[in-house]
Amino acid sequence: MGEYKRPVVSVVGAGNVGEHVANLIAIKEIANVRMFDLARKEGDKVYEVVKGKALDIKQMAAAIDCDVEVEGFTVTPEGEGYESLEGSDIVVVTAGFPRRPGMSRDDLLSKNVGIIRTISERIAKYAPESIVIVVSNPVDVLTYAAYRITGFPKERVMGMAGVLDTARFKAFLSMELKVSVKNINAYVLGSHGDDMVPLLSVSNVGGEPLTKLISEERLKEIVERTKFGGGEIVSLMGTSAYHAPGASVVEMVDAILRDKKEILPCSVFLEGEAAEHYHVEDVCIGIPVKLGAHGVEEVIKLDFTEEEKKLWESSVRSVKSGIERIKELGLI
Ligand SMILES: NC(=O)C1=CN([C@@H]2O[C@H](COP(=O)(O)OP(=O)(O)OC[C@H]3O[C@@H](n4cnc5c(N)ncnc54)[C@H](O)[C@@H]3O)[C@@H](O)[C@H]2O)C=CC1
Ligand SMILES: O=C([O-])CC(=O)C(=O)O
């Protein structure tokens, strides 16, 4: 019997988000999955949890008649055990610490950047042709770090945030208006933090502008809830969200593997005309891009209102300050 010729998606970090990514890819049967994580030590016992999770997902897939290969690989913090990244079409990076109540995503930077450094080096070594999707927070800064450390073309490194932030905005709007999420067209751009930019000027429901359907005051409340949507879940659960983040990653994976040319907001490195259009230099930040087999195939150039411009500028400043921090510390 031969090998399966399905695409391969590797997921580095098989915690809450990572295992949901693996689970959804298996259910959708869009790729074989390889999961990578550290061993868990309890006293003198060592658990290879990632191998157990992979087997469990493989068996779940069998229970619902889904054909997919799922394998787990134990790695070390020093970067051993990554050989099986070889042949990956996409590598999703969810390794690192999530925030706890009272923390901001930026508080994770110093701990997570070292993890991203080691993993990016291993991706460059073992999967030099892959497309990388960074999830670990603070995602825009860590996407920038992965872009610089892998040395991959900008089309092949992206961060997941805008799909999630937009999903939250759409969920709140659908709850408010009692209308299908399918009929809501909305974008949340900029940094994945308190400075994210819900783009009201291009958001509508069945073609009708939001401002016509919801009072200014109520819309402001929904926008604020969206901006702090991650924090709302952290304060309820004591750790961060994983169902919606996992699904958002898989939306991006699906767009790439099926060459859908789907326009999705992603955190990407902007250069040339796109950088000029958005008045940015040397950052990764969330904007709508066309995702297909080659990764980021086009950057969509939207025009902002004066108010959106101000929000955008503050979003850019906040990502820049994170990037400066890791540069000053010599971490990239
Ligand atoms: N961009 C976004 O929109 C979102 C980002 N996140 C971020 O994703 C990250 C993961 O979140 P969760 O899955 O909830 O956390 P988690 O703690 O459940 O999982 C993280 C996993 O990373 C593993 N890990 C840690 N260091 C590692 C290393 N050196 N090599 C390999 N694996 C390593 C851990 O063992 C753990 O299994 C966090 O940084 C979180 O803030 C979470 C949700 C949304
Ligand atoms: O809130 C967090 O820390 C995790 C995250 O980025 C999100 O769910 O938006």
Please, are residues 278 and 53 in contact by the beta-carbon 8 Å criterion? no
DSSP letters for 225-258:
HHHTHHHHHHHHHSS---HHHHHHHHHHHHHHHT
The pLDDT assigned to 3 comes to 76
Q: Which of 10, 11, 12, 17 to mutate to test the pocket of ligand 1 (most atoms within 8 A of CB)?
A: 17
CATH superfamily of 8-159: NAD(P)-binding Rossmann-like Domain (3.40.50.720)
Please, are residues 246 and 238 in contact by the beta-carbon 8 Å criterion? no
The pLDDT assigned to 5 comes to 85
Atom index in ligand 2 nearest the CA of residue 105 equals: 3
Q: Which position has the token pair 């010729």?
A: 5
Average pLDDT on 162-187 reads: 97
Instruction: Give the chain's mean pLDDT.
Output: 97
pLDDT in tens, 88-106: 999 999 999 999 999 999 9
Assigned fold of 162-328? L-2-Hydroxyisocaproate Dehydrogenase; Chain A, domain 2 (3.90.110)
Would you kindly state where each structural domain of the chain is located, as residue ranges? 8-159, 162-328
- Cα dist from 112 to 94, 105, 146, 163, 280, whole Å: 10, 10, 12, 22, 25
In this model, does residue 124 exceed pLDDT 80? yes
The pLDDT assigned to 123 comes to 99
The pLDDT assigned to 329 comes to 87
In this model, does residue 242 exceed pLDDT 70? yes
- Return the ligand number nearest the Cα of 92: 1
Q: Which of 10, 11, 16, 252 to mutate to test the pocket of ligand 1 (most atoms within 8 A of CB)?
A: 16
Active site residue 192: yes
Residues 6+ apart with CB under 8 A from 310: none
Average pLDDT on 216-224 reads: 96
Q: Whose CA is nearest to atom 9 of ligand 2?
A: 230
Nearest to residue 142, comparing CAs of 103, 116, 110? 116
List the catalytic residue out of 20, 192, 277, 294: 192
Q: Whose CA is nearest to atom 40 of ligand 1?
A: 98
The pLDDT assigned to 1 comes to 66
Please, are residues 157 and 143 in contact by the beta-carbon 8 Å criterion? yes
In this model, does residue 19 exceed pLDDT 70? yes
pLDDT in tens, 248-294: 999 999 999 999 999 999 999 999 999 999 999 999 999 999 999 99
Q: Whose CA is nearest to atom 28 of ligand 1?
A: 77
Place 4 in a pLDDT band, splitting at 50, 70 and 90.
confident
Place 180 in a pLDDT band, splitting at 50, 70 and 90.
very high
Q: Please tell me the distance from the alpha carbon of residue 139 to that of residue 159, in angstroms, as a whole number.
A: 6
And the tokens for 280?
């940015």
And the tokens for 236?
């309820």
Place 116 in a pLDDT band, splitting at 50, 70 and 90.
very high
